[in-house]
């Protein structure tokens, strides 16, 4: 009995993954090999049985072929990768000094600063994006203040631009970069930096030689936490982005709800997953030797 229970405890996370990740993905994967139909469900079944034919197997690669041929999808994928990559980089550049300052703050301040970083999560994500819409709009806070100060005469076009998308993503995902970086930098032994200085390293050199390489696990963890959700981001580009900011999340949405083409959207999603698995494998590659070192 005890052993059964113990086995279950070990199995529980795998069961969770199986039920909520692998099984749904298998269904999506299966649908991606069907043709769309005006029916319910709106796609052809993989196996059919009728009176005339005992058993029929229907399988098509049309969706993938179409995906390769129509550059709309590639433009979306590329655009998503570009926006996610640049946003991750911006997040990293902004977060590193913040996380570093937090890690070196007086003990009493650390928790306060940490609390301030997490604070935005207490408001709905959607609400915060809407707030940015009103700040950036033609009659928004920024344009109104700039115009009343006489710096500009015509309102700037801020909303519905790529700039707004970057702003939205960086703003929304910043805590996901700060937290793993802070966790890493906070436990970094100061002796390493002092030893490097003692051996003749000037402050910037010490940062390059010691601090940066030793905080690499934090940088990778934070970057993945920003990059992966940013690539599939749907809300921010559709609310803040222009018509041309066609990120893959939006394309997927259009395909699914606009065209009701389930098989096509399933294929788009499958390719997206493949794109995401790649950086994760890179992460694994860097993570495992690091963990061995800790042990």
Q: Which is nearer to another protein, 148 or 189 (CB)?
A: 189
The only residue of 40, 191, 274, 281 in contact with another protein, by rule CB under 8 A:
191
The only residue of 192, 207, 256, 283 in contact with another protein, by rule CB under 8 A:
192
Residue 195 to residues 190, 199, 211, 216, 259, Cα–Cα distance (Å): 9, 6, 12, 19, 62
Rule CB under 8 A: say whether 15 interacts with another protein.
no
Partner residues linked to 36 by β-bridges:
43
- Minimum CB distance to another protein, residue 289 (Å): 9
Stretch that binds another protein, among 6-14, 29-37, 96-104, 210-218 (CB under 8 A): 210-218
| CB-CB contact of 250 with 76 (8 Å) | yes
The only residue of 40, 139, 189, 284 in contact with another protein, by rule CB under 8 A:
189
Rule CB under 8 A: say whether 214 interacts with another protein.
yes
Determine if the peptide bond prior to 41 is cis (ω within 30°): yes
Listed in sequence order, the residues at least 6 apart from 240 whose beta carbon sits closer than 8 Å to its beta carbon are 129, 132, 133, 136, 159, 160, 164, 165, 167, 168
Stretch that binds another protein, among 56-64, 79-87, 158-166, 206-214 (CB under 8 A): 206-214
Query: Which residue has 């949405």 as its token pair?
Result: 253
- Minimum CB distance to another protein, residue 220 (Å): 14
- Angle (CA) 198-204-209 rounded to 5° is 70
Rule CB under 8 A: say whether 286 interacts with another protein.
no
- Residues forming contacts to another protein in the complex (CB under 8 A) are 189, 191-192, 194-202, 205, 209-210, 213-214, 292-293
């Amino acid at each position: 009995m005890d052993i059964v229970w113990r086995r279950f405890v070990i199995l529980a996370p795998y069961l969770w993954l199986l039920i909520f990740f692998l099984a749904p993905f298998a269904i999506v994967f299966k649908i991606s090999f069907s043709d769309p139909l005006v029916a319910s469900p709106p796609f052809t079944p993989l196996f059919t049985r009728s009176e005339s034919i005992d058993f029929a197997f229907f399988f098509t690669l049309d969706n993938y072929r179409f995906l390769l041929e129509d550059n709309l999808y590639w433009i979306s994928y590329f655009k998503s990768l570009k926006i996610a990559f640049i946003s991750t980089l911006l997040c990293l550049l902004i977060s590193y000094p913040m996380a570093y300052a937090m890690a070196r703050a007086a003990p009493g301040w650390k928790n306060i600063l940490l609390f301030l970083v997490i604070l935005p999560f207490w408001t709905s994500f959607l609400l915060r994006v809407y707030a940015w819409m009103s700040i950036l709009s033609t009659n928004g806070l920024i344009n109104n203040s700039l115009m009343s100060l006489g710096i500009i005469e015509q309102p700037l076009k801020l909303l519905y631009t790529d700039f707004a998308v970057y702003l939205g993503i960086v703003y929304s995902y910043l805590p996901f970069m700060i937290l793993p970086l802070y966790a890493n930098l906070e436990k970094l032994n100061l002796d390493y930096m002092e030893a490097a200085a003692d051996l003749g390293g000037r402050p910037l050199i010490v940062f390059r030689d010691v601090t940066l390489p030793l905080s690499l696990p934090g940088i990778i963890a934070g970057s993945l936490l920003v990059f992966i959700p940013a690539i599939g981001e749907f809300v921010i580009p559709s609310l803040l982005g222009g018509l041309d900011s066609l990120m893959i999340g939006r394309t997927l949405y259009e395909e699914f709800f606009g065209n009701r083409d389930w098989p096509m959207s399933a294929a788009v999603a499958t390719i997206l997953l493949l794109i995401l698995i790649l950086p994760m494998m890179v992460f694994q590659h860097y993570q495992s030797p690091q963990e061995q070192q800790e042990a």
